[in-house]
Amino acid sequence: MSDLTTLRGTELLRELSLAFGPSGCEDPVAELIEKIVSPAADRIVRDRSGSVIAYLKGTGASEKRVMLSAHMDEVGFMVASIEDDGTLKMAPLSARDPKILAGQYVTIGDGRGQVNGCVGMVPIHLSEDKGLPPYRDLYIDIGASSREEAEKLVKKGDFGTFRSDFVRFGQNGRMLKGKAIDDRLGCAVLIDTLRDIRKSGERLPFDTYFAFTCREELGISGAACAANLIRPSHAIVFEATAVADVDGTPDTQRVAEQGRGGAVSLADRGTVYDMEFARLILDTAEKNSIPCQVKRFVSGGNDSSKIQRSGEGVRVAAISAPARYIHTASNVIREEDFLSIERLAAAVLRALK
């Protein structure tokens, strides 16, 4: 592994993307993030839910308490049973369409000891059902030939997720593909923003909390706990959002456009956002010539819904990277969108002064 303190931008995103961290098993990602941010933060705590919260002390000139949030977990599954032939049956831990699972390479374990396997199904030419396979017809092949052999490698209740390379492709390598970019991208934004502020020697007038939350994909419980601990006045959630920009999608159903920067949410299925805060972000982007756009379709949700409702209420905003194929092994983003979101994060913190 490279020196973690020197990684930033896309190389940092790659390291985070490859880490094992399905919902409920975020410890490997949390430990990685703690190592990276420890030299730059004034203090780091792990709350009881497992989220990592890094703190930068402000000058005290402002009463604001600002929370930046990104979730560490990725979509995953749990081993539900071990069959007599050594294959495994699984139960989904978050939104995942079974049609994208067959043939996928996966990793199973407890975050420390892990084993690899492949998702299989009855071949279509031997199946009476020619439709999409339900979860009950999928299994995981870990190379075991019996229940006894499989039980030496895994146990019921083990977590699993995709095993996928992180690669560049497209013109000039501008596209990035990997698993868990939803939401290790947000984690990378928080890390680089925290370290850049520390390196600049600047002290913001308010205390700033960088919350790397757990279990967003399973009820957003980590963000709720972190927000109740921090009690912010303002919060910005950094996410990846399904972009729906492929050919054939009606313009009225498109969420955003890749290559036009981060998408600022006005409303989604869990939150109606603070309009004044959203306008501040859009104005800051324009003032600093940072590509930015409005998320123009009401869809999805993120940590904002629970943060907004915490304490006495929080003014929330969300900035999302337009991503293709989220909740699969191949999340795809444009590098320039990711880098523009990093620029915007620091600019918005300074604008909040």
Average pLDDT over residues 52-68: 96
Sequence spans of domains, the chain: 4-74+179-351, 77-162
Average pLDDT over residues 98-123: 85
Residue type, 248: G
Contact 304, 266 (CB under 8 A): no
Of residues 176 and 124, more confidently modeled = 176
Is 15 one of the catalytic residues? no
What is residue 129's predicted lDDT score, i.e. its pLDDT? 59
Half-sphere exposure of 74 (CA within 13 A, CB side): 34
Look at the alpha carbons of 295, 30, 229, 40 in this order and tell me if their dihedral is positive or negative.
Answer: negative
pTM for this prediction: 0.94
Instruction: Give me the sheet containing 43-46, strands edge to edge.
Output: 43-46, 52-56, 207-213, 65-71, 234-242, 315-323, 262-264, 292-294
Q: Give domain 77-162's CATH superfamily.
A: Peptidase M42, domain 2 (2.40.30.40)
List, in order, residues 6 or more apart from 323 with CB less than 8 Å away.
181, 182, 185, 240, 241, 242, 243, 331, 332, 333
Pairing of strands 65-71, 234-242: parallel
257-302 pLDDT tens trace: 999 999 999 999 999 999 999 999 999 999 999 999 999 988 889 9
Q: What does residue 198 show for φ and ψ, rounded to 5 degrees? A: -60, -45
Q: Which long-range contacts (CB under 8 A, 24 or more apart) does 8-12 make?
A: 8/191, 8/192, 8/195, 9/188, 9/192, 9/338, 9/339, 9/342, 10/176, 10/335, 10/338, 10/339, 12/36, 12/188, 12/191, 12/192
Residue 335 above 80 pLDDT?
A: yes
Rg (CA), the chain: 21
Mean pLDDT of the chain: 92
Where does the pLDDT of residue 132 fall: very low under 50, low under 70, confident under 90, or very high at 90 and above? low
Question: Nearest CA to 335 among 196, 180, 210, 169?
Answer: 169
Question: Nearest CA to 29 among 190, 197, 199, 206?
Answer: 190
- Give whole-number Cα distances, 252 to 58, 210, 245, 343, in Å: 43, 35, 11, 29
Instruction: State the Cα–Cα distance between residues 222 and 238, nearest whole angstrom.
Output: 15
Instruction: State the Cα–Cα distance between residues 89 and 117, nearest whole angstrom.
Output: 12
Half-sphere exposure of 93 (CA within 13 A, CB side): 24
Contact 197, 342 (CB under 8 A): no
Contact 217, 23 (CB under 8 A): yes
Average pLDDT over residues 178-195: 97
What is residue 188's predicted lDDT score, i.e. its pLDDT? 98
What is residue 131's predicted lDDT score, i.e. its pLDDT? 62
Question: What is the domain class of 4-74+179-351 according to CATH?
Answer: alpha beta
Residue 83 above 80 pLDDT?
A: yes
* Catalytic one of 15, 26, 74, 216: 216
